[in-house]
Structure 1
Amino acid sequence: MNMQLINRNFLATHCKRRNFLLGAGLITGLVVASQWHPVMAQTTFSGYPFSLGVASGDPLPDSVVLWTRLAPDPVNGGGMSRVNVPVQWQIARDENMTQVVQKGTVLATPELAHSVHVDVRGLEPDRWYWYQFKVGNEVSPKGRTRTAAAPHSSIQKFNFAFASCQDWQNGFYTAYKHMADEDLDLVVHLGDYIYEYGPRSGAPRQHIGPEIVTLSDYRNRYALYRTDVNLQAAHANFPWIFTWDDHEVDNNYANFIPEDNQSRQAFEGRRANAYQAYYEHMPLRLSSLPKQSSMLLYRRLTFGDLAEFNVLDTRQYRTDQPCNDGLKPRCDAALDSKATMTGARQEGWLLRGLDQSKARWNVIAQQTMLGQFDFDARPDSQVFNVDQWDGYVAARNRLLSFLAQRKPSNPVVITGDIHSSWVHDLKTDFNNPLSATVGTEFVGTSITSNFPTNSIAPVKAALSNNPHTKFFDAAYRGYVRCQLTRERWQTDYRVVSSILEENASISTLASFVVENGQPGAKTA
């Protein structure tokens, strides 16, 4: 076992001399290292070091991020010593890894829980690759990934799925088992990848330990979720794009305002812990490396001239929920022009991107329901969920007015959060059914998280008061599959028969289409 103490300058020179490609994982480890650690060419582990599988994400035409984390004892801190461990990686054109196009070595550092993020550059656009890691004598599972099509290149079809809200305790990830078998180019996760709560009695499977607060807590919770074989299969088969919602930190938090009675200083610490653990467990680029309690997550990814994804962060910069949060009639604060979901900078970035886009389909990937929905079936009263855009009416109006005036091509919003399936026509005035439809929103159900059964009937009763809402279902869990061509977008609501059966079947509950140039959804 060869151990050598080396500093940053020597390491950089040494790696260059040996023609190692410095992936983002190595650079990241060096950027955040608070102290020197010995580099250990570790050959023996207390358990399989790749227990959390492999993943890839944020595909560009010439690049993709490869991820893994060394964790021989995953839910007990990882089981690694506080040393830097060299991890080899390679990426190939074929599944048998005989046509290797790039390879290198990165350092898995204790500062990042021995995770690695390899930002592989110089790849060919719009093609499949296979990748694998090795540490000592241990080899990871193989992963498959795909680069984006070149900018402005004409592609004829693009298939992706989106998912959200996967409470470990509520059931099994059978939906991911079926997703892994789909014909997809991409998966988009819209948040609530983990839940912060402590154990719940009577649940099909349990969280370990109380509600999570510390960095170690968050790391162990991510590791628990990542041990799921179905989730690992979906990660290994496709590149993913990620954004978060609230449960990656704390239920319904807004900026630095927690759900619970906690000091600003204490919550800043908790948010910093949560953000670091999130980065450690996602295939994200160095640009998303957290700085204390801040992390840049909103970004834009383009797939030829067919689709452009604007990935939003509606938690980190938002103003506090109005009217003391919850489901209630709107108060004046819900109409405040200064209230924001995204913050001014992100809002400007989104509108500029939409205005400049050359894509046929302009996707806004975000968290809470954008379309208005009055949950009160009585004609003379209204009730709204003010954690959603219904609590940020002026901000929503600015976005929808922009869509009406500037007319970016085919805006489609994809949404998670509410553990149920919806389809909305996005209107310039939701209170006037005759007003212009300027976009379409598809809201996906959860992977496992619960929608209260006793709330389903009241929502159905209120549908007639919300004519822009074309579909609602809250009985089933699953994911949403989207098939894009140049003339049509088809959305299929894929649902499992049960989240309590590991061999549950999959079916399509409903399908909707959007025709090119015609905002609004129609039944397929």
Structure 2
Amino acid sequence: MTARSFPIGRRGFIAGAAAGLVTARSALAAPGIITGDASRPGMPSGVQTADPTGDRCMLWCRSDRPSRMMVEWATNERFAGAVSIDGPLALQDSDFTGRLDLTGLPPGADIFYRVRFQDATDVNVFSEPLTGRFRTPGTERRNLSFCFSGDETGQGWGIDPAFGGLKMYDTMLAFAPDFFIHSGDQIYADQPLPTEVKLADGKLWRNIVTPAKSKVAETLTEFRGNYAYNLTDENKRRFLAEVPLLVQWDDHDVKNNWFPGQIHDDSRYKVKSVSLLSAYARRAMFDYNAFRILGEDPERTYRSVPYGPSLDVFMTDVRSQRGPNTRNRQGEPGSATAFFGPAQLAWLKRGLKESKAVWKVVACSLPISYVNDDYNTYMPKGSFEGWANRDDGAPLGRELELADLLSFIKENRIRNVVWVSADVHFAAAIRHEPSRAGFTGFDPFWEFIAGPMHAGTYGPSTLDLTFGPDVRYLSVPADLAQNRPPTEGLQFFGHAAIDGQTDVMTVRLHDITGKELNRTVIEPEV
């Protein structure tokens, strides 16, 4: 694995900077959440950053009562010359979460930050501080890397302390990535957790279960509770204090295989409008992530994150503007075939064309060619959830939109586009080749799939050959029994590293222990 070098080590800083509270254990790792005594505001969900650019980054934290977020940041671990900021009031309407856009940051610098809360009822009372760090994108080429995965606490596999909690986060932290792309299903709002699951060897998986995880999420409070549940895990809090998060949503963040306007018939729910459920879910996602909300459209989740001369990341959204799940065989584009939707597709084309970065990474929560159809009880019979429609010929249905995008990339000679995704609960490296495809009007490109990071593992579904997928690596056997538990080790993430001198991208797929399973070296095209 490749890790950056820091003056005292990333973990050493997190441990040592919190008001001198250092123990033998915490000197090597970030401490757990420091709440102090009950008279002080608590900080139960840690700190996190997201969506960094050259001179700014979003910062997030949560209190346990009405209080003001107070922030200091500096370019050194001693906080010499620190900039102090009075942040927002964290009130009940946001579940006491606070988000601050740190601006005026030096590019290409290590930023050390410290957060505490000032009690709104007694301004002389403060929480203990929590600390973190991140590196801003720079204007010069340098080695950089990122991790990617998705699918967290799904299929009945919640936080079991005996297993070690969400320990994929601790594994990824050892790689010291510049950021992490969470490719969706950050929560499983539609899947309550049982207290116990019997494993094949007779042992028991024992979940921590909170009220929010004891039923399907139907209210804003319940969706927020799903996010709060995952943040009780110290591995995740430790990771988010050090690694900026680029997050997108997918189906389980609301309800399995949902689409706007859907009226479902799932008997577990009183709320039948998926549009209402998704409105609550979107608000909870914004409340519980250091998400950069765009002023021109406060509900928009797709956005680009420029990361210096070597990399631009395009975070897409295939939930908000999609048409309904249908047979996906329409011969002409229209509202029923929308997946990105017209506005997002135009934005993505424009962004790819205007990008000056060597690499353009498109993060899409759903893979291109693996079929996801009506095996699910809550999907209309004969319908499809993703791009693919099990027809290997010319593009039909949602494939029309993707064919349009790929043709645009080819016609405009846009080089070095790489896709990353999750959703299917296994890892794969796929080369899409027009010579193998039912549609040939595109340049070859790579797609990497990684996940689950903490959920049930599944075997691969059928491949649709319209876009010529050549599976170069698959992490699970074709006959894998379904919903394999995390104890079997079949949990996966990707790590992409860009060489600062050559701009060569090396993408590795790893298991939960950090073991390298596959390596793909991609030379940049000019």
Give the structure-1-normalised TM-score: 0.75
Partner in structure 2 of residue 512 of structure 1: 520
Q: 1:252 to 1:206 in 2, by over 3 A?
A: farther
Contact 2:406 2:442 in 1 (8 A): no
Following superposition, the deviation at residue 258 of structure 1 comes to 5.4
Give the structure-2-normalised TM-score: 0.75
User: Distance in 2 between the 1:467 and 1:426 partners?
Assistant: 4
- Tell me which of 291, 298, 305 is aligned to 2:302: 298
Report the secondary structure of 2:227's partner residue: helix
Partner in structure 1 of residue 178 of structure 2: 185
Following superposition, the deviation at residue 240 of structure 1 comes to 1.4
Task: Specify which structure has the higher proportion of helix.
Answer: 1
Contact 1:493 1:511 in 2 (8 A): yes
Partner in structure 2 of residue 493 of structure 1: 509
User: Distance in 1 between the 2:316 and 2:522 partners?
Assistant: 22
Percent of aligned pairs with the same amino acid:
21
User: Distance in 1 between the 2:135 and 2:145 partners?
Assistant: 12
Contact 2:45 2:228 in 1 (8 A): yes
User: Distance in 1 between the 2:61 and 2:106 partners?
Assistant: 22
Partner in structure 2 of residue 253 of structure 1: 258
Partner in structure 1 of residue 287 of structure 2: 280
1:74-89 superposed matches below 5 A = 80=65, 84-89=66-71
Deviations along 1:245-298, whole A, 9 cap, x unmatched?
11111111112325545899833322221111111100023427986xxx2111
Partner in structure 1 of residue 5 of structure 2: none
Report the secondary structure of 1:399's partner residue: helix
Report which stretch shifted further, 407-416 or 200-209: 200-209
Partner in structure 1 of residue 21 of structure 2: none
Partner in structure 1 of residue 338 of structure 2: 340
Partner in structure 2 of residue 69 of structure 1: 62
- Tell me which of 35, 49, 52 is aligned to 2:45: 52
Q: 1:124 to 1:405 in 2, by over 3 A?
A: same
Q: 1:303 to 1:277 in 2, by over 3 A?
A: same
Following superposition, the deviation at residue 94 of structure 1 comes to 2.0
Q: 1:370 to 1:510 in 2, by over 3 A?
A: same
Contact 1:484 1:490 in 2 (8 A): yes
Report the secondary structure of 2:318's partner residue: coil
- Tell me which of 187, 210, 213 is aligned to 2:215: 210
Deviations along 1:117-152, whole A, 9 cap, x unmatched?
110111101111111211233223211122122xxx
Following superposition, the deviation at residue 436 of structure 1 comes to 5.8
Unaligned runs of 5+ in 2: 1-34, 118-124, 159-164, 198-204, 374-381, 390-397, 478-489
1:86-125 superposed matches below 5 A = 86-125=68-107
User: Distance in 2 between the 1:446 and 1:385 partners?
Assistant: 24
Report the secondary structure of 2:280's partner residue: helix
Report the secondary structure of 1:142's partner residue: strand
- Tell me which of 110, 115, 126 is aligned to 1:128: 110
Partner in structure 1 of residue 313 of structure 2: 309
1:137 aligns with 2:134: no
- Tell me which of 360, 363, 371 is aligned to 1:362: 360
AA partner of residue 478 (structure 1): F
Contact 2:248 2:315 in 1 (8 A): yes
Q: 1:474 to 1:320 in 2, by over 3 A?
A: farther
Name the count of aligned residue pairs: 431
User: Distance in 1 between the 2:442 and 2:89 partners?
Assistant: 54
AA partner of residue 233 (structure 2): D
Partner in structure 2 of residue 158 of structure 1: 144
AA partner of residue 488 (structure 1): V
Following superposition, the deviation at residue 229 of structure 1 comes to 0.6
User: Distance in 2 between the 1:395 and 1:433 partners?
Assistant: 13
Task: Specify which structure has the higher proportion of strand.
Answer: 1
Contact 1:371 1:426 in 2 (8 A): no
Partner in structure 2 of residue 11 of structure 1: none
1:21-36 superposed matches below 5 A = none
Q: 1:356 to 1:263 in 2, by over 3 A?
A: farther
User: Distance in 2 between the 1:96 and 1:258 partners?
Assistant: 55
User: Distance in 1 between the 2:296 and 2:152 partners?
Assistant: 24
AA partner of residue 477 (structure 1): Q
Partner in structure 2 of residue 387 of structure 1: 385
Q: 1:147 to 1:400 in 2, by over 3 A?
A: same
Contact 1:43 1:137 in 2 (8 A): no
CA RMSD of aligned residues (A): 3.0
Contact 1:433 1:467 in 2 (8 A): no
Following superposition, the deviation at residue 484 of structure 1 comes to 1.0
1:403-418 superposed matches below 5 A = 403-418=409-424
Contact 2:264 2:272 in 1 (8 A): no
Q: 1:223 to 1:434 in 2, by over 3 A?
A: closer
User: Distance in 2 between the 1:265 and 1:281 partners?
Assistant: 24
Report which stretch shifted further, 361-370 or 482-491: 482-491
Partner in structure 2 of residue 420 of structure 1: 426
1:412-451 superposed matches below 5 A = 412-428=418-434, 430-431=436-437, 437-451=443-457
